[in-house]
Amino acid sequence: MRNNAIQRRAGGVKLSSIILCVTVLVAGLPAWGRAQVNTGSNGSDGAFNPTVNTTINMSTHPTGIYQYSSVNIPTNVTVTFIPNANNTPVYWLVQNGVTINGVVSVSGQSVNGPLTQGGVGGPGGYRGGDGALGNSPSTAGQGPGGGGAGGQHGTYNYGNAFLVPLLGGSGGGGGNNLTFANGGGGGGGGAILIAASTSITVNGSISAFGGTPGNNAGYGSGGAIRLVASQISGSGSMDTYAANMGRIRFDTYDNEFSGYVRGQFSSGFQPIIIPSAGQLPQLTVTSVGGVPLSASPTGVLSTPDAVISAQQSSPMPVVVNCANLPLGTAITVTIRPISGEHTDLGLFGEDYF
């Protein structure tokens, strides 16, 4: 791990104000000795073996953490969730094995037709924006990649490739067509982590879809699915479909899964299941064009975190500080102007100093 500053020049960018969104793309972690996965589960929630379609109200688990002794979802049984007040992802920590022959869904809520209220995100995902109604304009989808007001889709899942920490999808923007009735944006797909001490078998499906929008509105982005076990197998499906896909991560010694995977996929093995505060990656944009930024930027267009003079010289320096990232980490800084296309800047090893 290292704590360094990274500097990269954004060539040709001359903006009166910009919003910076930073995506950490972790390219590799150290190899770890092979051992049985320790999920830390104490089994206090017992065995989870539903026999009928089940909706889990997460209000009883404000941290989103469930400590099962085992999990078995049979064929023709669907498990869904009502997010808790903290809107945490779902964490299933399991002492023994997990078998999913039915359906587990943390998908975002869809919106029908002209209903103007944005869809609720799945657990850990973000709400869609509201559609225009009368004198009330449409609103943007929530989340770091929320779709802009006027029907833009939620952008891709902003979590890193390891899904540590776990992050759901962003909401789509509400519709803003002056001729037709406008609908709300789809909710962002939620996020789920399933960790088993022995094996996870999926012959059914796990889904984290972005919600379908109403009239003239944007789709929610796909959510996140992370599985951690000594072995992952089965012939089912893992799906984070939306206008912009979510992320799927397998952390396992033995990947025997032969089914369908749709999303930004990565695999390997790293043992951090739920990171403590000191283990979390830290990445901060500290200045743009010599203008210092707050340690807690808002990313809101109406109150920009950095106002850059139109006379700013080009190239423009963007300074990023990071900590708790593995050596060789690839970082992308995305610059989003008030209007027009975004610009991605890749920061690699040679940018360290």
Query: Higher pLDDT residue, 293 or 306?
Result: 293
Pairing label, strands 282-288, 316-325:
antiparallel
* Domains of the chain (ranges, CATH numbers): 2-26+281-351 (2.60.40), 32-276 (no CATH)
Q: Which residues contact 302 (CB under 8 A, 6 or more apart)?
A: none
pLDDT of residue 336: 65
Average pLDDT over residues 2-17: 35
State yes or no: pLDDT of 121 exceeds 70: yes
Percent of the chain with pLDDT over 90: 52
As a whole number of Å, the end-to-end CA separation of the chain is 14
pLDDT at 218 over 70: yes
How many whole angstroms separate alpha carbon 66 and alpha carbon 47?
A: 11
What confidence tier does 341 reach under pLDDT thresholds 50, 70, 90?
A: low
Q: Tokens at residue 172, please? A: 């789509």
In this structure, are residues 162 and 269 in contact, taking their beta carbons and an 8 Å threshold? Answer: no
More confident residue, 266 or 19: 266
pLDDT at 267 over 70: yes
- For residue 4, name the pLDDT band (cuts at 50, 70, 90): very low
Instruction: Return the DSSP state at 349.
Output: G
Find the mean pLDDT for residues 317-343.
69
DSSP type of residue 58: G
pLDDT tier at 271, thresholds 50, 70, 90: confident
pLDDT band at 328 (very low <50, low <70, confident <90, very high): low
Structure tokens at 40: 């830390």
Question: In the predicted model, is pLDDT for residue 29 greater than 60?
Answer: no
Q: Which helix (H) or strand (E) holds 252?
A: strand 247-257
Q: Give pLDDT tens digits for 144-190.
A: 888 888 888 888 777 788 898 899 999 999 998 877 788 999 999 99
Query: What gap in Å lies between CA 189 and CA 169, rounded to an integer?
Result: 5
Q: What confidence tier does 272 reach under pLDDT thresholds 50, 70, 90?
A: confident
Q: Which residue has the higher pLDDT, 271 or 167?
A: 167
Q: Which residues of 243-263 are buried (b: 16+ CB within 10 A; e: fewer)?
A: bbbbbbbbbbeebebeeeebb
According to DSSP, the residues that pair with 316 across neighbouring strands are 10
198 close to 229: Cβ distance less than 8 angstroms: yes
144 — alpha (psi -120 to 50), left (phi > 0) or beta? alpha
Q: Which residues pair with 24 in a beta bridge?
A: 331
- pLDDT score for 246: 94
Asked whether 66 and 45 are in contact (CB, 8 A), the reply is: yes
Pairing of strands 264-268, 205-207: unpaired
pLDDT tens digit sequence for 58-73: 999 999 999 999 999 9
What token pair was written down for 289? 């064009």
The full DSSP string for 77-132 is -EEEEE--TT-PPEEEEESS-EEESSEEE-PPPP--TT--SPPPPPTT--PPPPPP
Cβ neighbours of residue 281 closer than 8 Å, sequence gap 6 or more: 24, 26, 160, 164, 322, 323, 324, 325
Max intra-chain CA distance, the chain: 66
pLDDT at 27: 34
Residue 344 has pLDDT above 80, yes or no: no
Q: Identify which has the larger pLDDT, 15 or 52.
A: 52
Least confident among 113-127, 244-258, 259-273, 277-291: 277-291
Cα distances (Å, whole numbers) of residue 270 to 57, 65, 95? 30, 20, 18
Mean pLDDT of the chain: 83
